[in-house]
Amino acid sequence: MSFVAWIVLGLIAGFIGSKLVNRRGEGILLNILLGVVGAFAGGWLFHIFGAHGVSGLTLHSLIVAVSGSVVLLVLYHTLRRRRAW
């Protein structure tokens, strides 16, 4: 996949993941970052369980990326709350 495709997939996945986790966005840059990293993490998780990871701008790749970004957002919010006190 090209760099622009990763950014587009990351933006969409990060936005959807943010809406699923906390009902508001984290900001466009953090959404992109968590979406792209979530795409990698989701691809790795899906590979561990025997499924295909991210392969292009497809619905399956979007589901993989959103799954990874949701996992990362839950970890992000858990660590952020823990450091807040």
The string of pLDDT tens digits covering residues 75-84 is 887 887 766 5
Q: What is d(CA 79, CA 75) in angstroms, rounded to the nearest whole number?
A: 6
| Beta-carbon contacts of residue 27 (< 8 Å; ≥ 6 apart) | none
Integer-rounded Cα Rg, in Å, for the chain is: 12
The pLDDT of residue 5 is 78
Q: How confident is the model at residue 59 (pLDDT cuts 50, 70, 90)?
A: confident
The rounded mean pLDDT for the chain is 78
* Both tokens assigned to 55: 């392969």
The pLDDT of residue 82 is 66
The string of pLDDT tens digits covering residues 17-56 is 888 887 666 677 777 677 778 778 887 888 888 877 677 7
Q: What is d(CA 43, CA 52) in angstroms, rounded to the nearest whole number?
A: 7
